[in-house]
Amino acid sequence: MDYQALQQRADELLAQGQYETLVDLYTEALGYGYPKSAEAELLSALAELYNHFGEKEKSKDHYASAIAIFRTLEGEGEEGAYFPVIAAVTNNLGILYEEENEDQAATEKFKESLEIYEKLAEKAPELYKPYVATTHYNLANLLGKKPDFYQSRKHLQQAYEIFKPLADADPINFDAYLANTLISLGNSYVEEHDYNNAEIYFEKALPVYRKLADIRFDIFGPYLAATLNNLAVASKETKQQDKAVLFYEETLDLYQRLAEENPEAFLPYKAATLNSMGILFSEMFDKDEALVYYNRAIEIYQRLASRAPVDFNPYLATSIHNLAILLDEKGELDQAEAAYHKALYLRDELAAQYPGAFDRDVCVTAMNLVTLYQQFLEKDQEPVFREKAKELLADVSRRLEKLNRDEPVVQSLWSDHEYFVDFFENVTTEALSIANVLRRCNALTEEINSTIDPAEKIIFQQQIIELLEAQKTEYPHHQPLTEELSTEYGNLSWLSIRLKDFKKARIYAEKGMELNPGAYWVKMNLYYLGMIDKAENEALSILDEIMTGCSTDLEKHKVREQMDMDIQKLRLYGLWG
């Protein structure tokens, strides 16, 4: 069989998908005595087929043999005649090494290929510059795995500088390469948590993918959605929450459109976006909106998990866990408990199916439940919550014993575990009562921080004082409680100053000092009141007492810093000359 007839037969087998027969054909043909160039082509073709069948070592051996023959032929003939095929086969071998995690060998092959393509591009830039750029891209991805982000970005930048003019001249063929390179540059910065630089590259990629998606939405719609999602994450991490919301909303619209055409492929992405939006709104303190998105994500994950529990139960458990945390933060504790139990049940099942893989997740949810039971115990002082917490803590201990103590998350879990074991073993009725009141005070403090109107703030501040005074009456010798009450009288005094009720402000400050004579942060209000009342000598005497009471230069510096900030605010309120 001559070589042309062989190629014709090979094309027929390839079209019919008869790859095993094709291997036999090529292997037999190696003994036909074809020219060395044909032998090398056959070896390269066999290497691709062996790679297809997963016979990686055979594939590597055949690629190497083909390269050796091509290099010999190159040395015997006209310089550069075999450069294109040597570069291509060497690049294929590099890709194979990378797939086998033989990164050093892959790097060497990509560099060999790059060197040849650069020589070819000097003589025929239009033909070979795309190959130079693609090889830079391959090298960048490989170096990014090490990770060597600096070198990786150097190669990505070189790829970008080649693809940009190519895309300007021929957008149909090169826009996709350009956009993909920009995304890789952005992701490189994400790996180093540099979201400002990542955002720059994602924004450059966005209009390119918009243009591509307008032409072929079925192909490039997913890339556009992923780019918008990347921009949402970058905006969230750089505290541009409003921008993040807009990017997530557009991402969600795209995944909805994609899921209508291919629900199996894109419903998971829609659910993940809904979950991300829930997290974002939770961080923005819009808990009601967060609740809506968490519930929508859970609804989709439940449908997906009913058909493929192995694939989607982990995501369902995480979404329910997030919902439980949100309900906990909203103070809807009974609903939070139910959600924690659902998440714990799912994670417990996963841990039983995959020992070791999900124990951390079980422990995290269990510790959240323990924290919830602490709240219940502080509120109602019912022994049942102590027993439930102890049962969970015992299970957490058994699971943590199987994990590596050097992992930061495991260390944190052990630390929390030790604290709560001690708490539930030794906590007293007095401590529970005070902790419950302090928790209620913290909730009122959140209300204070949610408004800028001092007239609204002072209502919540007075409620804090009432709660603490009632506890002080019940536990008069509890020193931390006394100090907390002193601090809150100082806060009440400050709000009274802002409302120009200077008489009450002085009474509250003096009450705070009576409770804790060392509370210079409360005494500062008396200094401000003296200066406002033009009683300068009295004010300066108080200031001297404050500074004399500071035991270190650092403490004095902190006092001066706080007073400077307070005086700036008083000037803003028109209360300081």
Whether residue 357 has pLDDT greater than 80 = yes
d(CA 321, CA 294): 10
**What percent of the chain is modeled with pLDDT above 90?**
71
DSSP, res 354: S
Q: What mean pLDDT is predicted for residues 431-442?
A: 87
Task: Please report the pLDDT score of residue 171 as a whole number.
Answer: 94
Report the pLDDT value the prediction gives residue 148, as an integer from 0 to 100: 83
Using alpha carbons only, give the angle 393, 399, 400 rounded to the nearest 5 degrees. Answer: 85
Sign of CA dihedral 187, 188, 191, 196: negative
The superfamily in CATH containing domain 432-572 is Tetratricopeptide repeat domain (1.25.40.10)
Q: How many residues does the chain have?
A: 577
Task: Output the pLDDT for position 379.
Answer: 83
Mean pLDDT of 18-28: 88
pLDDT by residue (tens digit) across 179-191?
999 999 999 999 9
Burial class (CB in 10 A: 0-12, 13-18, 19+), 340: buried
Q: Quick one: average pLDDT of 420-437?
A: 87
Tokens of 356: 């070791």
pLDDT in tens, 233-261: 999 999 999 999 999 999 999 999 999 99
Please answer whether residues 66 and 88 qualify as being in contact, where contact means their C-beta atoms are separated by less than 8 angstroms.
no
- pLDDT value at 509 more than 90: yes
Q: How far is CA 369 from CA 290, 325, 375, in A?
A: 21, 10, 10
Measured CA to CA, the distance from residue 269 to residue 271 in angstroms comes to 5
pLDDT band at residue 495 using 50, 70 and 90 as cut-offs: very high
Mean per-residue pLDDT for 275-294?
A: 93
- Residue 168 contacts by C-beta under 8 Å, 6 or more apart in sequence? none
Q: Decide if 110 contacts 94 (C-beta within 8 A).
A: yes
Q: Distance between CA 478 and CA 566 in Å, rounded?
A: 30
Q: Identify whether the C-beta of residue 305 lies closer than 8 Å to the C-beta of residue 316.
A: yes
pLDDT at 168: 93
> Amino acid identity, residue 20?
E
Q: What is the pTM of this model?
A: 0.71
- Number of neighbours of residue 339 by Cβ within 10 angstroms: 25
Instruction: Inform me whether the pLDDT recorded for 577 exceeds 80.
Output: no
CB 51 within 8 A of CB 19: no
Cα 505 from Cα 512, distance rounded (Å)? 11
* Segment 274-290 mean pLDDT: 93
Tell me how many degrees the CA angle 520-525-531 measures, rounded to the nearest 5: 120
In this prediction, residues 333-338 reach a mean pLDDT of 95
Whole-number pLDDT of residue 150: 87
Per-residue pLDDT, averaged over 465-474, amounts to 94
Q: Using CB atoms within 10 A of its CB, is residue 572 exposed (0-12), middle (13-18) or buried (19+)?
A: exposed
Separation between Cα atoms, residue 153 and residue 140, nearest integer Å: 7
pLDDT-above-70 percentage for the chain: 100
Residue with the larger pLDDT of the pair 227 and 9: 227
Task: Check pLDDT > 80 for residue 153.
Answer: yes
Q: Which two tokens stand for residue 436?
A: 């419950």
Mean pLDDT of 164-193: 93
CA distances, 134 to each of 47, 64, 111, 182 (Å): 21, 21, 12, 13
Tell me if 228 sits within 8 A of 209, measured CB to CB.
Answer: no
Rounded to 10°, the helix 429-449/454-474 angle is 170
Position 76 pLDDT exceeds 90: no
CA nearest 273: which of 303, 287, 299, 294? 294
Contacts for 344 with CB less than 8 Å, ≥ 6 apart? 362, 365, 366, 369
Q: Where are the domains of the chain?
A: 432-572
Asked whether residue 464 carries a pLDDT value surpassing 80, the answer given is: yes
Query: b/e string for 354-368 if b means 16 or more Cβ within 10 A?
Result: eeeebbbbbbbbbbb
CB-CB contact of 110 with 135 (8 Å): yes
The pLDDT of residue 25 is 87
Q: How confident is the model at residue 78 (pLDDT cuts 50, 70, 90)?
A: low
The mean predicted confidence, pLDDT, of the chain is 92
Q: Is the dihedral of CA 156, 157, 162, 168 positive or negative?
A: positive
3-state secondary structure of 186: helix
Backbone angles phi, psi at 50, to 5 degrees: -65, -35
* Neighbour count for residue 247 (Cβ, 10 Å): 22
How many angstroms from the chain centroid is the CA of residue 215? 32
When pLDDT is averaged across residues 39-43 and rounded to a whole number, the result is 89
Q: What is the pLDDT of residue 196?
A: 95
